Amino acid sequence: MTVGPRLFSILRQGTCLIASIHTALDDSQLLRFQEDLIATIGRDRARGVVIDVAALDVLDSFATSTLRDIGEMARLRGAATVIVGIQPDVAIAMVRLGLRTGVLETALDLEEGLALLGDRMAGSPAARR
């Protein structure tokens, strides 16, 4: 990625990717995150993506729309996306800001997110187990 502390990481776990954002990102960094993640989904042929945003103290309209775009692009590449780790105060701010939740699949944390993906994937023929 870049010099300095890593802003985010994308790890592979089975057919899923775990993308963790480590710190507050500005808009250009968010877009780079989006590019990297979408490229990785394509390269690894991932079936599911968990995006961990627990480290974000703000999810404003741009961040949310970026996450929504990621979800949409991932879907076109055959991967389901789950956002995990939204903190209580962040959730309240998002709602008051006027963000609709329908567009984002969410779960409490990484564990729940992976379980949810497992559930999604179990419904499709490619699911193993």
Smallest separation, CB 38 to another protein (Å): 16
Element (H, E) at 13: strand 8-13
List the x/- string, 13-32, binding to another protein by CB under 8 A: -----------xxxxxx---
Distance CA 84, CA 5 (A): 22
Q: Which is nearer to another protein, 43 or 128 (CB)?
A: 128
Closest contact distance (angstroms) between CB of 43 and another protein is 25
Residue with tokens 């899923």: 16
Looking at the Cβ atoms of 9 and 101, the one nearer to another protein is 101
Pick the stretch among 4-12, 35-43, 70-78, 110-118 that binds another protein (CB under 8 A): 110-118
Site for another protein in 30-69 (CB under 8 A): 57-62, 64-65
Residues at the site binding another protein, with contacts judged by CB under 8 A:
24-29, 57-62, 64-65, 84, 86-102, 104, 106-109, 112-113, 115-116, 118-119, 122, 129
